[in-house]
């Protein structure tokens, strides 16, 4: 079924994309390049507190973009403190203004929303701000915010609906708690905040909230950053605790009550131990839930067209061409079963899918060795296997872990956080010590990781890393001089340059 097949029916569109996030928009614009008739349906169901946003999806509006900007706000606060030791003089009291930050961030996001609409128009992609759901073969119903319904048909469909934050299902959660969908446009400073969850979303938000001077507590049910390297995850937790973030471990909220209305008000949170019957109570101005996200697949009529989903998770199983069990329906992004939930992955998968459908290409999306970064106060960049996954896959005797702490030069003059940053590579002994896992904990971790990810795609070995001359004095050069193995038990703490 390539793009040149004669279509027996006359459809309204060649391709209808349901979901105007990163993946959906990338696919729609790519399809328009090949002069296909394309429609994008995008609709944001408001949060329980009534928030919604413009075209562009989670990443742009309530994800990566505002998160990184608010993380930057926190880093600037730290830089202000450091700058005194570098000779900068200014009054002792330095304040942060929440409203100035959120307005600036929202203004930038607004410009992106506008840019996406203009780009679709220029590429002659039809955009409707309407909720798309399948009603029959090759047919969707689009419902706009006024409730007006229209039917559209297409030869092919792409589902790119993404995910939304999960709620606890306890008294008061939707009435009084916020999620990341609300935080970045919150029209008041959140004050004393309880962050519930141990996901990267939870830790990133806790990090920047504390970084702009707020009293922050993180309530963790079990482990931090499930699915990530646990050695690193624990180091992140230790660093955050050392920098004033409180952790309540092995407790879950069972009730949230409002004690006082306001912006912010006061909430009472009752929580129960996961290990016994102990009950604790605490008062906070804001409760932020970051306990996971659910795929937006259960209310788009997939049952009407026979698309199979994982009943437990709502995720859609696809083949290696992002095709569902219904041949004319494809899916990309966070809704895919057993795939990475990352914006650039959705974009890549969407573009490559369209090129296969309409341009005769054969390249498939490579879901292996995808780099990512967690923007916690101490940033964490990773590519490839975690240590746990490598041991499970190859056996402990077949992997060699090289590691070291390091101290960024920029932190030496303010004399802070010595030996908190950490570098680790995991090598497959049986395959010429090929690097199969890369992990860095330190400033600019994303910038560092991106380059090494390209090297890993090329199959870099430990010997090749060692033969690479480092750039002095930068953090990333540590990866060219790693000598200590984990199994040796030798000290990895560094001193000097």
- CB 25, CB 349: distance < 8 Å: no
Pairing of strands 399-406, 380-384: unpaired
Structure tokens at 418: 């010595």
Q: Report the distance separating Cα 82 and Cα 179, nearest Å.
A: 32
Alpha helix (H) residue ranges in 228-326: 230-242, 302-305
Alpha helix (H) residue ranges in 177-328: 180-183, 200-211, 230-242, 302-305
Q: Which residues, in sequence order, are CB contacts of 328 under 8 Å at separation 6+? A: 1, 138, 155, 156, 157
Q: Which residues, in sequence order, are CB contacts of 54 under 8 Å at separation 6+? A: 61, 109, 110, 113, 114, 116
Active site residue 243: no
The region that residue 250 occupies, defined by phi over 0 for left and psi between -120 and 50 for alpha, beta otherwise, is left
Pairing of strands 38-41, 126-128: parallel
- Neighbour count for residue 142 (Cβ, 10 Å): 20
Query: Catalytic one among 71, 403, 439, 472?
Result: 472
Structure tokens at 228: 């990530």
- CB 426, CB 390: distance < 8 Å: yes
- CB 444, CB 389: distance < 8 Å: no
Catalytic residues, by residue number, are 472
């Amino acid at each position: 079924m390539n793009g040149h097949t004669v279509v027996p029916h006359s459809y309204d569109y060649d391709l209808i994309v349901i979901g105007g996030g990163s993946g959906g928009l990338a696919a729609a614009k790519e399809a328009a390049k090949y002069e296909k008739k394309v429609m994008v349906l995008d609709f944001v169901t408001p949060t329980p507190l009534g928030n919604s946003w413009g075209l562009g999806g989670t990443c742009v509006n309530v994800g990566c973009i505002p998160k990184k900007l608010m993380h930057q706000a926190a880093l600037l606060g730290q830089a202000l403190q450091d700058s005194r030791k570098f000779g900068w003089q200014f009054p002792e009291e330095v304040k942060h203004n929440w409203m100035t930050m959120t307005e600036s961030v929202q203004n930038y996001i607004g410009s992106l929303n506008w840019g996406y609409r203009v780009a679709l128009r220029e590429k002659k992609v039809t955009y409707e701000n309407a909720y798309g759901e399948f009603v029959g073969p090759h047919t969707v119903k689009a419902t706009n915010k006024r409730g007006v319904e229209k039917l559209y048909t297409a030869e092919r469909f792409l589902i790119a609906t993404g995910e939304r934050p999960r709620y606890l299902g306890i008294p008061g959660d939707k009435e009084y708690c916020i999620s990341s969908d609300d935080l970045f446009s919150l029209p008041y400073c959140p004050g004393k905040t309880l962050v519930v969850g141990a996901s990267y979303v939870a830790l990133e938000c806790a990090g920047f909230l504390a970084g702009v001077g707020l009293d922050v507590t993180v309530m963790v049910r079990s482990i931090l950053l499930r699915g990530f390297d646990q050695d690193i995850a624990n180091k992140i937790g230790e660093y955050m605790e050392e920098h004033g973030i409180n952790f309540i471990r092995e407790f879950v909220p069972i009730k949230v009550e409002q004690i006082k209305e306001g912006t912010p008000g006061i909430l009472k949170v009752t929580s129960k131990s996961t290990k016994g019957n102990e009950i604790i109570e605490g008062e906070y101005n804001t409760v932020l839930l970051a306990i996971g996200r659910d795929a937006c697949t259960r209310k788009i009529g997939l049952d009407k067209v026979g698309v199979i989903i994982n009943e437990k998770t709502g995720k859609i199983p696809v083949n290696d061409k992002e095709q569902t069990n219904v041949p004319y329906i494809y899916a990309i992004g966070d809704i895919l079963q057993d795939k990475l939930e990352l914006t650039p992955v959705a974009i890549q998968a969407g573009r490559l899918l369209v090129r296969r459908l309409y341009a005769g290409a054969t390249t498939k999306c490579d879901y292996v060795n995808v780099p990512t970064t967690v923007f916690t106060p101490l940033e964490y960049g990773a590519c490839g296997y975690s240590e746990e996954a490598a041991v499970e896959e190859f056996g402990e005797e077949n992997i060699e872990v090289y590691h070291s702490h390091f101290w960024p030069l920029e932190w030496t003059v303010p004399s802070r956080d010595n030996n908190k940053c950490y570098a680790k590579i995991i090598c497959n002994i049986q395959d010429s010590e090929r690097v199969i896992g890369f992990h860095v904990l330190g400033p600019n971790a994303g910038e560092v990781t991106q380059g090494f990810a390209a090297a890993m795609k090329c199959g870099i070995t430990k010997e090749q890393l060692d033969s690479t001359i480092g750039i002095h004095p930068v953090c990333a050069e540590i990866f060219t001089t790693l000598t200590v193995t984990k199994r040796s038990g030798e000290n990895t703490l560094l001193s000097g340059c």
